[in-house]
Amino acid sequence: MTSRPLSVRVASVSVLALVVFALGFAFGPHLASAGPAPAAAATVSTLTTQGSITSADRTQAGRIIRDWAPSACGAVKSAPDTGDTAAHHYDAYTYTNTSASNQCVTVQLRSACTGSNDVFSIAYLGSFNAASIKTNYRADLGLSPGQDSGTTGYAFDVPAGQSFVVTVYEVTANASCGGYTLDVTGAGITGGNTGGTPVAPSPTAVPRTSTPPPAATQTARPTNTPARTATATRTGTRTPTRTPTRTPTRTPAAAPTNTPASVPTNTPASVPTNTPPAATATPGAIPGLPCFFPADNIWNRNVRTLPVHPNSAGYINAIGATAPLHPDFAAGMWNGGPIGIPVNVVPSTQPLVPINLGQWGMVSDPGPYPIPANAAIEGGSTTSGDRHVIVVQSGTCMAYELYHGQPQSNGSWNADTAAKWSLTSNALRPAGWSSADAAGLPILPGLVRYDEVASGVIHHAIRFTTANIAPRYVWPARHSDGSSSDPNALPMGTRLRLKASVNISGFDAKTQVILRALQDYGMILADSGDRLNISGSPDSRWNDNLLNAMGAIHASDFEVVDTSGLMVDPNSAQSR
């Protein structure tokens, strides 16, 4: 192991011991007549370890998803979902509460490693099992040290005499980290300096209470920091469910019982998919765009009065009732790239270029596409994340979307998947097909754009992501990359609505426009990612502090709506 700690510092203080000493010095005879002196309090210590993550360290199976909810003493947070199953290098340090009582322990991880080199910390009660990273889970920060500014940390209770393990691992597999500092503070806490040797994996489970964390443990997300980054979600590869074996005629698994019977979730291969009902386009539905989808497209339908889905409560609990709403768009930069998904508008004369499709080419629309060599990419030109590219051609009212778009020196583009969308049509993808999004839906109509917010109203649903996703979908989605076995996991295409009872009057006027759209049009689950992230386009005019104020809204403020009564044809986005 090469991540040997560079130094260990112990700072100790016992306030009660000093007080007892002082009282004994001044009033010794009187105290002696009162009986034995009380036992001194356990010493509060900060154990500091400096280490690094390298390719020589041991590996754990996967990582957990950052949920932006730092653990706190007094409640045990449920273990967040896992984000992938790759091998991530880690360090682990064992500590013991040597006191005779329960202690609140604080962990603070500081690191200059950011972006793809982010590190993360988790605490385990008793032992750590590298093959099962949710076993014995006790607490975590919910975000990386760069996002925490290294000042807050997380806290958890440790029973008297109990050992616990604190791990530090790389968020992106094989990314490494040149150095970090780990501070563990608590009364009567010893250990930590293991000489850089990770704790051996142990399958022994430690009982854990299931009391959910109080809302007070949630913290607002930092300005300019999106929850969905290249290290928090996909890193250039789709989940195993999107594989070359998927063909246009593949029929997904039958819908579960909690899906309304009238809403088919799978479409027989024999049903036509490219002949939707004719519709009238809605030019200018979003300011700044030459045309948009038809007015009767499901994205454009107000759902304020639709009935609540019978399993709404189960779905919300599967997300995590205390999960805060987070805008995944901003004015600032993150890791050298813009925050959000940009929209490129090109003229009808834009030259067409070849699209070199990757392993999911069989569920993609072949090129050529009118994408300029300098088209704006989600996350910027150097990101290793989703790299969504959206181009709208004004002369044809066509939209072109790429997943993991990579410009080539000859003017062509590489992409894992590519999709064309007629902005005057209600056509959906063939059943079982994905698009640039895992749900097989267009990205464009679900984005929040500054121009439309400035106009005072948003007339469409908003795209959002979450982590606990079922391997199935409901209309209008066409595909799912989910793999959760939770019976309440959300299927792709699920539509949430901000409850009308939620008072939004205290928010900034522009923020109210977004929240009002969530009450009127709701949001559609379109891709996997961090919990309750809504999508938008980057713009220098956003006020990031005001956007982040939406973190005061939680999943419990939403309800799932039943859209089955709006469906005209399962193969069309047209709504009644």
Residues 504 and 516: beta-carbon distance below 8 Å: yes
The whole-number pLDDT of residue 147 equals 55
Query: What are the pLDDT digits (tens) for 356-388?
Result: 998 788 999 999 999 999 999 999 999 888 999
Question: What mean pLDDT comes out for the span 211-236?
Answer: 35
CB 330 within 8 A of CB 544: yes
pLDDT above 80: residue 447: yes
Residue 34 has pLDDT above 70, yes or no: no
Please report the pLDDT score of residue 294 as a whole number: 93
- The residues near 477 (Cβ < 8 Å, ≥ 6 apart) are 439, 440, 441, 491, 492, 493, 524, 525, 526
pTM: 0.56
pLDDT at 26 over 80: no
Predicted confidence at residue 360, as pLDDT, reads 84
Q: Is the distance from CB of 399 to CB of 453 less than 8 angstroms?
A: no
Query: Has residue 324 got a pLDDT over 80?
Result: yes
* Helix (H), strand (E) at residue 454: helix 450-455
pLDDT recorded at residue 77 = 85
243 or 167, greater pLDDT: 167
Predicted confidence (pLDDT) at residue 328 exceeds the cutoff of 70? yes
Instruction: Among 19-33, 366-380, 492-506, name the one with the lowest average pLDDT.
Output: 19-33
Looking at residues 431-436, what average pLDDT do you find?
95
User: 135-149, 217-231, 373-387, 410-424 — which is least confidently predicted?
Assistant: 217-231
Identity of the residue numbered 324: P
**What per-residue confidence (pLDDT) applies to 41?**
61
Q: Of 182-191, 265-274, 345-354, which gets the smallest average pLDDT?
A: 265-274
- As a dihedral over the C-alpha atoms of residue 222, residue 228, residue 232, residue 237, rounded to 10 degrees, the angle is -160
Query: 47-72, pLDDT tens digit by residue?
Result: 999 899 999 899 999 988 877 778 99
Mean pLDDT (the chain, rounded)? 79
Beta partners for 101? none
DSSP 559-573: EEB--GGGBS-TTB-
Among 241, 165, 171, 236, which residue's Cα sits nearest to residue 204?
165
